[in-house]
Amino acid sequence: MFLLESISWKEANDYFKNNDIVILPIGSTEQHGPHNPLGTDFLIAEELAKELSKRTNLLVLPTVPYGVSFHHSNFPGTISIDEEIFTQYVYNIVKSLKKYGINKILIINGHGGNYYPLLRVSRLARMELNMIVYIFQWWTALAGKISIFSKEEEGHAGAMETSLIAYFKPGMVNMLNCEDEKSVMKEINKASRYVFTDEITSNGVFGKSCSASREKGLIVMEKAIEMLLHMVEHLKNIKIE
């Protein structure tokens, strides 16, 4: 496992001379139901990044623990960053790496609210820096691909996510407090508007959560890492013109 915060500048220089890929875990600090920690998103991203580093020897950057989470802000403890500030913050990380010869960045994103700002970062990096920035979201990649979970178990703070954080951080998950979704209102699908999470679910859970287990979390982790390993091989083979 290779962590930037754990090595000296000389060791970092040696890495940059021989590698043009790094991993950047990004998440959020936000509610994940009454049973999961507020750091669920960034902790999962960080642990996936570390596991991937163990298997590839790629350098992992320090985790970005905050994201675009305003929709969860009525639940205490949620911290939110404005989209433009978040975009510029991550883009400055990317620009810093270009100076050292890094041309490819694999972002492991743990929070869906970050996706569109990160996609903008990817565009800016490609157009202005001639860099490749990939965004991997484990729940999107695994949707419908693990037969032990129903669609209702794949939502925010649902059984799939709860199983994964329970696998990585068992002491932080209290299944005694677990609740499945308690709906407040169902949105119509014919139009779109900004909705706060507590307008839809009173406990912050989308779908079913209480069927989670650490054993299921191991299955989720291995499948996510399998996909990430394929992505790393793809990144290695990309030729940047």
Ramachandran angles phi, psi of 131, nearest 5°? -115, 155
Q: State the pTM of this model.
A: 0.96
Rounded to the nearest 10 degrees, the angle between the axes of helix 214-237 and helix 159-168 is: 90
pLDDT at res. 40: 98
Check: CB of residue 40 under 8 Å from CB of residue 168.
no
Q: Residue 74: which residues within 8 A CB-CB, separation 6 or more?
A: 196, 197, 198
Closest by alpha carbon to 74, among 199, 205, 238? 199
Does residue 1 contact residue 53 with C-beta atoms inside 8 Å?
yes
Burial of 241 (0-12, 13-18, 19+ CB in 10 A): exposed
Nearest in space to 2 (alpha carbons), one of 76, 83, 56: 56
Answer yes or no: is pLDDT of 26 > 90: yes
Residue with tokens 């040696």: 14
Per-residue pLDDT reduced to its tens digit, 82-116: 999 999 999 999 999 999 999 999 999 999 999 99
Give which of 130, 52, 62 is closest to 93, Cα–Cα.
Answer: 62
Among candidates 180, 141, 131, which has minimal Cα distance to 44?
A: 141
C-alpha–C-alpha distance, residues 117 and 133, integer Å: 12
Instruction: Provide the pLDDT confidence category of residue 183 given band limits of 50, 70 and 90.
Output: confident
**Strand residues in the chain grouped as ranges (E):** 2-3, 21-26, 59-60, 104-109, 132-136
pLDDT exceeds 80 at position 188: no
* The pLDDT value given to residue 192: 75
Torsion of CA 191, 113, 94, 41, to 10 degrees: -160
CA 177, CA 196: separation in Å to the nearest integer? 22
What domains sit in the chain, N to C, each tagged with a CATH number? Answer: 2-237 (3.40.50.10310)
pLDDT tens digits along 119-141: 999 999 999 999 999 999 999 99
Q: Is 26 helix (H, G, I), strand (E, B) or coil?
A: strand
Q: Cα(57)–Cα(134) distance, rounded to whole angstroms? A: 18
Helix intervals (H) in 130-177? 138-142, 159-168
The DSSP secondary-structure symbol of 79 reads: B
Copy the structure tokens of residue 55.
């298997």
